[in-house]
Amino acid sequence: MGRISFSCLFPAPWHFSLSSQVLPRLLTPSLRQLLFIGLVLCLIGLLYLLLVTGKGHASWIREENHFHRHLARVTDVDATDTSNPDLNYGLVVDCGSSGSRVFVYCWPRHNGNPHELLDIRQMRDQHRKPVVMKIKPGISELAKSPGKASDYIYPLLSFAAQHIPKNKHQETPLYILCTAGMRILPESQQQALLEDLRTDIPVNFNFLFSDSHVEVISGKQEGVYAWIGINFVLGRFNHVHKDDGEAVVEVNVPGSDQKEAQVRKRTAGVLDMGGVSTQIAYEVPKTVSFASPQQEEVAKNLLAEFNLGCDAHRTDHVYRVYVSTFLGFGGNAARQRYEESVIRNTATRNKLLDQHTGETAESPLLDPCLPEDLQDEIGPSTEKLYLRGTGDFEQCRQILQPFLNRTNETLTSLSGIYQPAIDYSNSQFYGFSEFYYCTEDVLRMGGDYNASKYAKAAKSYCSTQWKSLRERFDSGLYASHADLHRLKYQCFKSAWMYEVLHSGFSFPANYKSLKTALLVYDKEVQWTLGAILYRTRFLPLRDIQQESLKGLHSHWRHSFSFVNNHYLFLACFFIVVLSIMLYLLRLRRIHRRTAQHCTPSSVPWMEEGLGSPTIPINL
């Protein structure tokens, strides 16, 4: 049987090739024009795609910049832009012993970074004044008529509602937090007042409010909130940038599985001495040890461990803070305790020795804690005692030491209360209220505290005759808010503050990192700021989730549509062109191989389209 060979006539594609002489002949004028036009169109298309890609990328950048402008920080001094739809609001009512105040706070949408906290600031009105309102007396005065509690609080909430856009009311959290005035009431009276608020407020206002949003907070909570507020204003919770030269501290994060200490910004401790109580709060970065099981049990009530961050699984903002409040250790309360002791001891001594010291102005009792020659009267009319100051600062300090109620136990402070060790070499404290008034109002030494200079100035003041001090006061040499009460008891309070700080809290005399202040960055920092920071800590989760979805959509819409789509098209185009070129080169090599097995006449037949030649048949 004969066999017909078609390999030279119809080679398979992978066998077909064109020689350098055949290719120009295959590229007819029409085909050459088409290829030329194709190349020109390809170049034009490439330029167009590059321009579109650039514009798309620029548009993306512009939209991103616009977005970040919306997330700009809320300034501290500018009036709040209530027309900004991305601005959120929150309310905290501080129900204190002498009155109640409502604070209105605002913040932009969270930026989506779980390492950062909400940027909360006090809202400011059109005159750039903080939106705050206060009423008197304290809510505790309504203990016997709890049904009036909601009427009492109504003016505060009505005031706040006028400053917040109405369409934002429903998503604005409201917290009503009661402090010392309510804490001293019986539990039944507390609950009656709170229940009236829980029942009536949702009827009159559309704020985000639930039963848990109104409560009587403990002194420990109040101290933690104050610590949070001050450190937030100081920027100590910003752990993202650690190369800004600020002091850092190694922290064993509570509840963390990490064995190595975490390094983050050093927080500031707080010292606050009011008229009635004194408080101290500071972070305890290292794991603490206890001298006894009893001390450990006490410490549980003084150490607060909490997470300020929105994600419970992250430890960036987990803190262990020691907070202790000492009732009766405020400036005025200490003076009252001192006077009661003087009256009691003098009466006993006069009775035993049959004396009449202090019973008349002609035979006054000498008091080293009053300025020299100052005459004063203390006690009720039946036990009135006449005093004359000797202005001896050092003697006054010695007399006041027993009032600290110190013990010999380790890691204790005032009244023998547990106090974890402070790393004085790497710490910073801010002193408020009497810590500032004692240093600034009369002595004009507010700011960086220096124990030796302070003691010297206090000693000089105490030893100055009262007549001279009055002349200075009348001449306006002291702070504008210093009054005669401050002048009379400056010597006593100076000595009391010094003893509380150095003998009570055991701060070394050469400690250089205490700043006494009335304001932080020129503004009053209330514990209410810390309260809303802590209580809204989970709100960023909503914004982070929204930003994640928006960011994902934006990424694919801008980055893929304007950039990746075009680059993908260009890549496919060049792959096709490259494939054609490789195909033609492959054809050339195949043609060289097949040309050795085919007759020369077969090629012209194919090229010229001539009639079919005689096909050889092998029999």
DSSP per-residue codes, 116-169: S----EE-B-TTS-B-EEEESS-GGGGTT-GGGHHHHHHHHHHHHHHHS-GGGG
Task: Give the per-residue pLDDT at 471.
Answer: 96
Residues contacting residue 577 through CB under 8 Å, at least 6 positions apart: 42
Of 507, 539, 571, the position where a domain reaches its end is 539
pLDDT in tens, 398-420: 999 999 999 988 899 999 999 99
User: Hunting for tokens 């932080």 — which residue is that?
Assistant: 520
Residue 254 lies in a domain: yes
What are the binding residues for ATP?
Answer: 275-279
Distance between CA atoms of 70 and 76, rounded to whole angstroms? Answer: 16
Give the number of other CB atoms < 10 A from CB of residue 275.
13
pLDDT in tens, 257-302: 666 788 999 999 999 999 989 999 999 998 888 878 888 898 889 9
Together in a domain, 307 and 158: yes
Residue 384 lies in a domain: no
- In the structure encoding, which two tokens stand for residue 436, read together? 């500032």
- Which phi and psi angles does 204 have, rounded to 5°? -100, -20
- The count of structural domains within the chain is 2
Residue 96 lies in a domain: yes
- In the structure encoding, which two tokens stand for residue 497, read together? 């503050």
DSSP letter (8 states) at residue 359? S
Q: For 379-403, give one letter per residue: b (16+ CB within 10 A) or e.
A: beeeeebbbbbbbbbebbbebbeeb
Residue 68 lies in a domain: no
Of 493, 511, 539, the position where a domain reaches its end is 539
Together in a domain, 114 and 214: yes
Strands 365-367 and 385-389: parallel
| Bridge partners, 433 (sequence order) | 273
User: Hunting for tokens 């003998």 — which residue is that?
Assistant: 503
Together in a domain, 155 and 21: no
Task: Give the per-residue pLDDT at 258.
Answer: 67
pLDDT by 10-residue block (mean), the chain, 619 residues: 37 38 48 54 57 44 38 64 95 95 95 87 94 96 97 98 97 96 95 97 97 95 96 88 76 77 93 93 91 86 92 88 95 96 94 92 96 96 93 98 92 94 96 96 96 98 97 92 93 98 97 95 90 92 57 47 53 64 61 52 34 35
Residue 222 appears among annotated catalytic residues? yes
What are the binding residues?
Answer: 275-279
Together in a domain, 109 and 23: no
238 exposure class (CB count in 10 Å sphere: 0-12, 13-18, 19+): middle
Helices (H), ranges, 234-330: 293-300
Distance between CA atoms of 27 and 33, rounded to whole angstroms? Answer: 9
- Ramachandran region of residue 255, left (φ > 0), alpha (ψ -120 to 50) or beta? left
Task: Give the per-residue pLDDT at 248.
Answer: 92
Task: Give the per-residue pLDDT at 49.
Answer: 53
Residue 283 lies in a domain: yes
Strands 447-448 and 385-389: unpaired
Together in a domain, 19 and 39: yes
Q: Residue 307: in which H helix or E strand, if any?
A: strand 303-307
C-alpha of 448 from chain center: 24
Helices (H), ranges, 175-255: 180-183, 187-204, 219-233
**Helices 451-462 and 484-499, interaxial angle, to 10°?**
140
Together in a domain, 194 and 276: yes
Together in a domain, 101 and 152: yes
Residue 301 lies in a domain: yes
Q: Residue 429: in which H helix or E strand, if any?
A: strand 429-433
Distance between CA atoms of 419 and 404, rounded to whole angstroms? Answer: 14
- In the structure encoding, which two tokens stand for residue 92, read together? 């905290």
Distance between CA atoms of 17 and 593, rounded to whole angstroms? Answer: 9
Domain of residue 560 covers: 13-62+551-608
Q: One-letter amino acid identity for 437?
A: Y
- In the structure encoding, which two tokens stand for residue 299, read together? 């410490």
Q: Is the dihedral of CA 145, 147, 150, 152 positive or negative?
A: negative
Helix (H, G, I), strand (E, B) or coil at 308: coil
Distance between CA atoms of 609 and 619, rounded to whole angstroms? Answer: 28
Residue 451 lies in a domain: no
Choice among 64, 215, 222, 362 that is catalytic: 222
Q: Read off the CATH number of the domain in which 136 is found.
A: 3.30.420.40
DSSP letter (8 states) at residue 598? S
Residue 581 lies in a domain: yes
Task: Give the per-residue pLDDT at 582.
Answer: 63
Distance between CA atoms of 330 and 488, rounded to whole angstroms? Answer: 17
Together in a domain, 556 and 534: no
Question: pTM for this one?
Answer: 0.75
Task: Give the per-residue pLDDT at 89.
Answer: 97
Together in a domain, 33 and 156: no
Together in a domain, 101 and 49: no
Of 504, 539, 574, the position where a domain reaches its end is 539
Together in a domain, 21 and 161: no
Together in a domain, 34 and 168: no
Distance between CA atoms of 534 and 544, rounded to whole angstroms? Answer: 17
Give the side-chain half-sphere CA count within 13 A for 147.
0
